[in-house]
Structure 1
Amino acid sequence: MAKSDGCEYFRRTSLFWIVSVTLAMGYFTCTVFVPEKIPFQYLGLFGSFCRYLVDNYADIMYKGWWAAWAVHAFEACVALKVCSNKGIDNMATRCLWFVQTFLFGFASLSLLIKYDPKRPKQH
């Protein structure tokens, strides 16, 4: 943290969440837009379930895909509000929180919510 007032506070979410959310959203995207590229037969029960959803509920999955991104966008907007409330005024830092929260959702937002500017964390 460059300044003691916390206006540049930023923490990257854990690698676990980065990988998990990226793979999950990537898989969801593929099942919605290019299901013929996914080898469902090699994924066991999970693959059978996904194949069933693709065959019978493609329209709901498409809407669910948009809903998932809408939730991430809402969380990103909440991150901007939380930045304001916690005194994080640096525009570059706020943009980092916005982008990270848009991409990784609550895994990022929870780090920001836990931040207490009154007691900076000692490293």
Structure 2
Amino acid sequence: MEAPPRNPGGYFRCTSRFWMGVIAVSIGYFAWTVFLPSTIPYENLGQFGHFTKYLVDKHPRLLYNGFWLAWGIHIAEALYSIKLCKTKGITDSSVQRRWFIQTFLFGIASLSHLLAYKPLLKKQR
């Protein structure tokens, strides 16, 4: 982990591009299977396409509920990131907003950076 910044009230660390891509593609595909399943080229996706087709045909309610559950979890993580910012002494509201947005979009991939952050303790006299 990189060294803490000089201004601990402004600590922010971006999620890796790899996880941003994986999560964006996964959520996008999940949304595609829930809202436009008739446009998916199942036969071009091999075994993954067969599995997706099975879920779309046999368990559409599970897909629909799972999609909204995933977004609910992202919302809960984003709200928790605000609480965690305050607990760890990150007081800058623009930085808190960045953590909220990043955690809402990328979930635990973002939140893990905030969880790992250990602010410097002030020396007591």
Aligned alpha-carbon RMSD (Å): 1.4
- Deviation at 1:90? 0.5
Match in the other structure for 1:25: 27
Paired position in structure 2 for 1:64: 66
Task: Provide the rounded CA distance (Å) in 2 between the counterparts of 1:28 and 1:76.
Answer: 20
- Which of 34, 38, 41 matches 1:39? 41
Structure 2: tracts of 5 or more residues without a match: none
Structure 2: which amino acid aligns with 1:96? R
Which of 95, 98, 107 is the equivalent residue of 1:93? 95
Equivalent pair of 1:5/1:117 in contact (CA under 8 Å): no
Which residue of structure 2 aligns with residue 52 of structure 1? 54
Aligned partner of 2:110: which letter?
S
Segments of structure 1 that go 5 or more residues without pairing to the other structure are none
Q: Say how many residue pairs are matched.
A: 118
1:4: how far off?
2.6
For residue 20 of structure 1, report the CA deviation from its aligned partner. 0.3
Shift of 1:5: 4.0
Residue identity in the other structure for 2:96: R
Question: What is the aligned-residue identity percentage?
Answer: 45
